[in-house]
Amino acid sequence: MTGHLRVGFIGAGLMGHGMAKNLIGKGFPLTIMGNRNRQPIDHLVSLGAAEVASPRAVAESSDLVFLCLPNSGIVDRIVLGADGIIEAARDGLIVADSTTADPGETKRIGAALREKGAAMLDTPLTMTPKEAESGTLNVLVGGAESDLETARPAIESFGKNIFHVGPLGAAHSLKLINNFMSMSMVALFAEAVTTARKADVSIAGLHEVISAGALNNGLFQKVMDWPLKQDASGLQFAIENALKDVGYYNRVAADTGSTALIGAIVQQIYALANAQGEGKTHVPKLMDVMGRLNGL
């Protein structure tokens, strides 16, 4: 199958570079679209990728196109805009969107592609750029089983675990629920550390006690590397992205008629940090923002 499935990739950033590199390594003919950050693009071209100038050109050269983009607005432009993928859509083309995206938008874009005979999968990811480079990502998939089976050999080049979770949009919904849970926990840890500091509780002591009990988890350890070691590299996720994802989560909750009381509060916490100019800051440093709010 590898020799016959032509793959396209749009969005070779922090996550996308590793995914695309592994596709090339597994022998897939790869067509990519350049972006302003030339370093990952030039590296992929040096490995054998063909670079083209438009989403339409990527689709024309591909049977399967992966997207790994910042948000649904950009996905809309890449797929449905001028010179977009839609202009080369045809029977047999599959678009797999690994963006952390709005499921409602995913369904709308998928319907537009279906009118042209093309199919869509939502293929969001969990883990980090490190796992993207090593080809050990978790990949959530929404869409038709037959389309997943066509795309599976390519997904397996960068994914260790593949979870088919339902129809188109279900994977993006699950990714947002996952991110809501993790970003809520980060906010909880940040508030707890702030309160501990104001109450003259040793942060090392807080860490030691939680690490020995049922509340301990990998996310706690990554976040606590910041106050203990001044190392925020374990969770390289920007506050502005947390705000976007929790906002999308709240939209999913609203669309389904679900109450999202915690989601609303967590969105406001990240909105406050973003409004203070901390959007590019990695989320473990949210505790610095909370500290300043509390006079620390």
For the stretch 60-89, pLDDT in tens is: 999 999 999 999 999 999 999 999 999 999
Q: What is the pLDDT of residues 267-277, one digit of tens each?
A: 999 999 999 99
pLDDT at 128: 86
* b/e 185-205 (16+ beta carbons within 10 angstroms → b): bbbbbbebbbebbeeeeeeee
257: left (phi over 0), alpha (psi -120 to 50) or beta: left
Over residues 132-154, the mean pLDDT reads 98
Q: pLDDT class for 1, splitting at 50, 70, 90?
A: very low
3-state secondary structure of 119: strand
- Rounded to the nearest integer, the mean pLDDT of the chain is 96
> Residue 85: which of 119, 48, 51 has the closest Cα?
119
How far apart CA 214 and CA 73 sit, in angstroms, is: 40
Tens digits of residue pLDDT in 162-205? 999 999 999 999 999 999 999 999 999 999 999 999 999 999 99
Question: So what's the pLDDT on residue 175?
Answer: 97
Q: Which 3 state secondary structure label does DSSP give 159? A: strand
Question: What does the pLDDT average to over 288-292?
Answer: 97
Six token digits for residue 195: 């309160």
The per-residue b/e assignment along 150-164, b for 16 or more CB within 10 angstroms, e otherwise, is bbebbbebbbeebeb
**In the prediction, which pLDDT does 281 show?**
97
Is the pLDDT score of 47 beyond 70? yes
Residues 223-254: tens digit of each pLDDT: 999 999 999 998 989 999 999 999 999 999 99
Residue 37 has pLDDT above 60, yes or no: yes
Q: What is the mean pLDDT of residues 117-145?
A: 96
Percent of the chain with pLDDT over 90: 94
What does pTM read for this prediction? Answer: 0.93
| pLDDT exceeds cutoff 90 at 4 | no
Task: State the pLDDT confidence band at 3, using cuts at 50, 70 and 90.
Answer: low
Could you tell me which residue, 2 or 224, shows the higher pLDDT?
Answer: 224
**Based on C-alpha coordinates, what's the Rg of the chain?**
20
pLDDT band at 140 (very low <50, low <70, confident <90, very high): very high
pLDDT of residue 80: 98
Q: What pLDDT is recorded for position 179?
A: 96
